[in-house]
């Protein structure tokens, strides 16, 4: 485009979008509208959930609308009336259909929290941690009607740290995505709209990243130590990994959230794996549990209705017996992630 100043519509709701939107607002382009998801019904005394993009837009004195659907006829007409050049979408929560995308000559771009085509869907950051990936990144695509399927305009790669939760990684990726978003907008400035832009995604490498559920947060102690550690980190900040603690000696099971673990004595450290049944307590420094290939130390645990505490404090308080274990039951065949209730 000959004009180096674009009219932009920003679409986003959650915190992942804020750093990129903030950089855009400091740049040369004009933001003609900010669009966020509508507020859901209030179900508790805590009030409506936070909407970081709406709060950011208010601080910037930018106009905000909350259409029920970005694709209904009235909203599409409203988009057309803005005469925007480009739609910038991030952490919005609705899929734009062709009619909405066609309201801007340059279409739309979307900042996604994975190295597409890997982890298309609602929970790309969490799924990368849960899968034990060593690296991830962000991708900016030119949007098509197919979910996360458009050509790649920009990407950034980063290592997943061994102690990083999904929440911490998502915050870091949102910052990494800023430069990628600006790069994508700059590429479209020079696009003649007659040529193909971006790199096509490899359909053979597509994987899905569905939204997390509470039920899948339950820990399967038969998994290797590293994968249990990835599970604990990947389930934060929500829904948080959980298990059931059976104290032994006839005590009642306690539902616990497990917030931090450290693999010890597993194959990765070179030590011999534990011979105990997965989920059963083993001797060690602090609260130690057998996994499928070794031993984990539970560093932070939260019994239902109580505050988080160290594993050592938990053991001191609950005084586990010799047959104590974590899992759905303490039987030899069922101490993993199946059979319990969320």
- DSSP three-state, residue 260: strand
Question: H or E element: which one contains 290?
Answer: strand 287-290
Closest CA to 5 of 177, 186, 153, 183: 186
* Percent of the chain as helix, strand, coil, to the nearest 5: 25, 25, 50
Helix residue spans in the chain (DSSP H):
18-25, 52-59, 73-82, 98-101, 124-130, 166-189, 225-234, 311-318
CB 242 within 8 A of CB 336: no
Q: What is the largest CA-CA distance in the chain?
A: 78
Residue 210 labeled ligand binder? no
CB 78 within 8 A of CB 85: no
Residue 115 labeled ligand binder? yes
Closest CA to 240 of 254, 225, 255, 252: 255
CB 135 within 8 A of CB 159: yes
Centre a 10 Å sphere on the Cβ of residue 91 and count the other Cβ atoms it contains.
25
Q: With the CA atoms of 10, 16, 20 and 23 taken in that order, what torsion angle do they form, in degrees rounded to the nearest 10?
A: 110
**Alpha carbon distances (Å) from 72 to 36, 67, 75:** 15, 9, 6
How buried is 26 (Cβ within 10 angstroms: 0-12 exposed, 13-18 middle, 19+ buried)? exposed
Report cis status (omega within 30 of 0) of the bond before 117: yes
Residue 114 labeled ligand binder? yes
**Alpha carbon distances (Å) from 157 to 18, 115, 152:** 20, 7, 14
Residue 52 labeled ligand binder? no
Point out the annotated binding site for (6S)-5,6,7,8-tetrahydrofolate.
Answer: 114-117
Point out the annotated binding site.
Answer: 114-117
């Amino acid at each position: 485009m000959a004009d180096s100043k674009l009219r932009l519509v920003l679409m986003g709701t959650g915190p992942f979008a804020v750093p990129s939107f903030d950089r855009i607002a400091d740049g040369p382009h004009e933001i003609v509208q900010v669009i966020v998801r509508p507020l859901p019904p209030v179900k508790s005394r805590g009030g409506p959930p936070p909407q970081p993009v709406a709060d950011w837009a208010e601080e910037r004195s930018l106009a905000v609308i909350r259409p029920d659907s970005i694709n209904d006829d009235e909203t599409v007409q409203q988009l057309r009336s803005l005469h925007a050049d480009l739609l910038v979408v991030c952490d919005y929560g609705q899929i734009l259909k062709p009619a909405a995308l066609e309201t801007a000559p340059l279409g739309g771009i979307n900042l996604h929290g994975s190295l597409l085509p890997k982890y298309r869907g609602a929970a790309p950051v969490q799924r990368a941690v849960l899968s034990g990936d060593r690296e991830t990144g962000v991708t900016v695509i030119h949007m098509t009607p197919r979910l996360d399927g458009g050509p790649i305009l920009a990407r950034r790669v980063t290592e997943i740290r061994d102690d990083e939760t999904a929440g911490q990684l998502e915050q870091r990726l949102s910052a990494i995505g800023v430069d990628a978003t600006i790069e994508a907008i700059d590429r479209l400035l020079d696009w003649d709209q007659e040529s193909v832009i971006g790199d096509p995604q490899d359909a053979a490498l597509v994987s899905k990243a569905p939204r997390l559920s509470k039920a899948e947060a339950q820990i399967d102690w038969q998994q290797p130590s590293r994968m249990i550690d990835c599970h604990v980190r990947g389930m934060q900040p929500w829904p948080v990994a959980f298990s059931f603690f059976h104290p032994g000696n006839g005590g009642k099971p306690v539902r616990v959230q497990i917030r931090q673990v450290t693999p010890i004595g597993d194959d990765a450290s070179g030590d011999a794996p534990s011979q105990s049944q997965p989920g059963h307590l083993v001797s060690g420094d602090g609260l130690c549990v057998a996994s499928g290939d070794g031993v984990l130390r539970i560093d932070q645990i939260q019994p239902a209705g109580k505050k988080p505490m160290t594993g050592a404090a938990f053991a001191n308080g609950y005084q586990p017996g010799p047959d104590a274990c974590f899992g759905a039951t303490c039987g030899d065949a069922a101490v993993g992630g199946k059979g319990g209730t969320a």
